[in-house]
Structure 1
Amino acid sequence: MLKQPQSRGKYIYNRVPRRDYESKKIEDMKKKLLSQLSLSDQSKSIILGTLLGDGCLQLTKKYKNARLSIRHSTPQKEYFFWKATMLKEIASAKSVQLQTPDVESYSKKKKLLFQSRATEDITSLYNILYKEKALRIQRRWLNHLTPLSLAVWWCDDGSIIGSPARRGVLCTDGFDQKSVFLIARYLQKVWNIYVHVGSIRRDRKNGNYSKKEYYRLWFCTEELKKWLRIITPHIPVASMVYKSIIVYKDSQFQQRWISELKEALPQFHEQIDEALRKKTKQRMI
């Protein structure tokens, strides 16, 4: 039971422990700092989205300031170079590099690496978002995500699955169970998207069953459609259109969904038709 504030005469004292007060003060200051960064809104949106996906911030002893790193495999080069172009305000002449797979990598594809300049703004982001060199999921910075952020996150780590493909999943393998549930509550409260938090067991290197448990966000068909209506207008490149293609057995339902996509992405009409053909063909194999 909650204790009532102590009363002394006509005055009521509701004391907040100093530790809690100082903690709240620091959190409020960090939230304000995130809004005051000199980075453009576009860059902040992309950075926050990709930090949930394939990006990370790094602060090493060699440098005073932190930098942003993003890696994608070469088949995603169109999407990668879109990110590099959009983040040119923090880029240098040597930001884009081609990497060959290392011996311990579970993917044998070559990688494209974007490394930003080390700047004070990115250091501020690092101090706000990271704790003990790991991204810390907190509501105070999730509230800064935009539809563009969500689209970037989906392009990084989202998939439409099933046969036919009508369910969605966001791979949040890098986050613990508590963090994934926090994200799920955020999506419900802010975006009215209801997702299921489900666990899988896998060996990240070999793709086999293992005792290691990971937690992911799962979308049923109706919630997936709500989600895609938010993010699809912000799909940036033709090669990512397939991530919005829901497949129906009923031709009328299929045509309605494709019409919605073409209205949201008028510049990618042909790519939408081609992506649907490929997914339909895969289902028939």
Structure 2
Amino acid sequence: MEDKIQSFYGIEYLRDNFDFSLDINRKHLEISKELNIIPGAIDRIIDESRVLSFFPNIHKSKSTPLARLKNNREFLLFAKKHDIHKLQVREIYRLVKLWREELENNPKTLLTDLQHDLIIGSTLGDANIRQRNKNCMFRVGHSPKQKRYLEWKYNILREFDGSGIKLTQKFVNGRLTNTFEFDLNTHYVFNYYRNLFYNQNGDKIITKKLLDQINPRSLAIWLCDDGSYCQKQKYIIFCTNSFTFEEHKLMKQHFEEKWSLNPTIGFRDNKYYYLRFKVDDTKKLVEMVRPFIPKSMMYKIGEKNE
């Protein structure tokens, strides 16, 4: 690859004559096409530029293993844990590998509590964790009515930014539907959630291990995604349609034991199960989650949006 690069411009020429700052990164394929060089060479310079912008005094040879860290918070946490100025390149490779493995088992080493709760609550609801080669990505979409809610989610997770929020349109049962959605960049930290939420067939599942991670904030986000408030009869339903009857029994048991709530398991259209909270339990549930409901989603607990 080096020979092909050098035959046209050379690595040093690219370093000296092009701005590979993060603002320009997304145009690197256009640049590689314009200069008739391998896109991987552009990726290499982008990675180097990203690392050196954060650690301007390290040797360039260390930028390659450090570029395997995906964002600035990782740089900061990794550098706090290891003295990268004293480490040899080979040792940095080894430690970065161990760091990535650690995040796949304990994502809160990197994520904030809010980010973790958002991923838990939203993946119980409308979000998906998709497998992409070795690592996974987070995707979620909402209707135009809930665009502010989607923007709230995006702002919490934006350091993993993929392509930003976009509008998608498709026909469903002959009708054009609009959805706003965002995809986050693939990251090994999302591998943890893929293993937590999905079985080997790629189906989303409910387990005790997953339910034990729910707290009032992640429950609030789950409610905003899947909950529905009946204004007339003053109760909340969780539209948990994709889960089995056995999984609903597990969810019901969890609500009883952890929250002292006793939802009933409903069945509709001869194929869908759901959870329904009685009026008194709905009041308890609302009091528990209200502090964590985004202002644009207050209608999910029977109140006016701000």
Category of TM-score, reference length = shorter chain: 0.5 to 0.7
How much has 1:36 moved relative to structure 2?
Answer: 5.0
CA distance in structure 2 between the partners assigned to 1:107 and 1:158 by the alignment: 24
How much has 1:135 moved relative to structure 2?
Answer: 1.7
- Structure number with bigger Rg: 2
Deviation string 1:156-179 (CA, Å, 9 cap, x unpaired) is 1111116x2311100000111111
Question: Relative to structure 1, is the Cα distance of residues 34 and 172 closer, same or farther in structure 2, using a 3 angstrom cutoff?
Answer: farther
Tell me the amino acid that sits aligned with residue 123 of structure 2: L
In structure 1, runs of 5+ residues without a counterpart are 1-29, 202-211, 247-270, 275-285
What is the CA RMSD across the aligned residues, in angstroms?
2.2
The structure 2 residue matched to 1:115, chosen from 159, 178, 183, is 183
1:218 aligns with 2:288: no
Question: Relative to structure 1, is the Cα distance of residues 34 and 184 closer, same or farther in structure 2, using a 3 angstrom cutoff?
Answer: farther
CA distance in structure 1 between the partners assigned to 2:237 and 2:113 by the alignment: 27
Tell me the amino acid that sits aligned with residue 178 of structure 1: E
- Structure 1 partner of 2:129: 57
1:236 aligns with 2:294: yes
CA distance in structure 1 between the partners assigned to 2:220 and 2:134 by the alignment: 32
CA distance in structure 1 between the partners assigned to 2:227 and 2:248 by the alignment: 14
Tell me the amino acid that sits aligned with residue 39 of structure 1: L
Question: Relative to structure 1, is the Cα distance of residues 37 and 130 closer, same or farther in structure 2, using a 3 angstrom cutoff?
Answer: farther
How much has 1:52 moved relative to structure 2?
Answer: 1.1
Task: After TM superposition, list the pairs within 5 Å mapping 1:187-202 onto structure 2.
Answer: 187-201=255-269
- Structure 2 partner of 1:158: 227
Task: After TM superposition, list the pairs within 5 Å mapping 1:262-281 onto structure 2.
Answer: 271=304
1:138 aligns with 2:207: yes
- Structure 1 partner of 2:196: 128
Tell me the amino acid that sits aligned with residue 143 of structure 1: D
CA distance in structure 2 between the partners assigned to 1:106 and 1:123 by the alignment: 36
Tell me the amino acid that sits aligned with residue 140 of structure 2: I
CA distance in structure 2 between the partners assigned to 1:159 and 1:136 by the alignment: 21
Tell me the amino acid that sits aligned with residue 277 of structure 2: F
Task: After TM superposition, list the pairs within 5 Å mapping 1:175-186 onto structure 2.
Answer: 175-186=243-254
8 Å CA contact retained: 1:95, 1:117: no
1:45 aligns with 2:114: no
How much has 1:95 moved relative to structure 2?
Answer: 3.2
TM-score under structure 2 length normalisation: 0.62
Q: Which has the higher contact order (CA 8 A, sep 6+)?
A: 1
Higher helix fraction (1 or 2): 2
Deviation string 1:215-269 (CA, Å, 9 cap, x unpaired) is 00001100000111110111112x21122227xxxxxxxxxxxxxxxxxxxxxxx
How much has 1:64 moved relative to structure 2?
Answer: 2.5
Q: How many residues are treated as equivalent by the alignment?
A: 203
1:95 aligns with 2:152: no
8 Å CA contact retained: 1:34, 1:128: no
Tell me the amino acid that sits aligned with residue 301 of structure 2: S
- Structure 2 partner of 1:174: 242
Tell me the amino acid that sits aligned with residue 225 of structure 2: D
Question: Relative to structure 1, is the Cα distance of residues 75 and 106 closer, same or farther in structure 2, using a 3 angstrom cutoff?
Answer: farther
Post-superposition, which runs of at least 4 consecutive aligned residues in structure 1 deviate over 6 A? none
8 Å CA contact retained: 1:74, 1:109: no
CA distance in structure 2 between the partners assigned to 1:107 and 1:66 by the alignment: 32
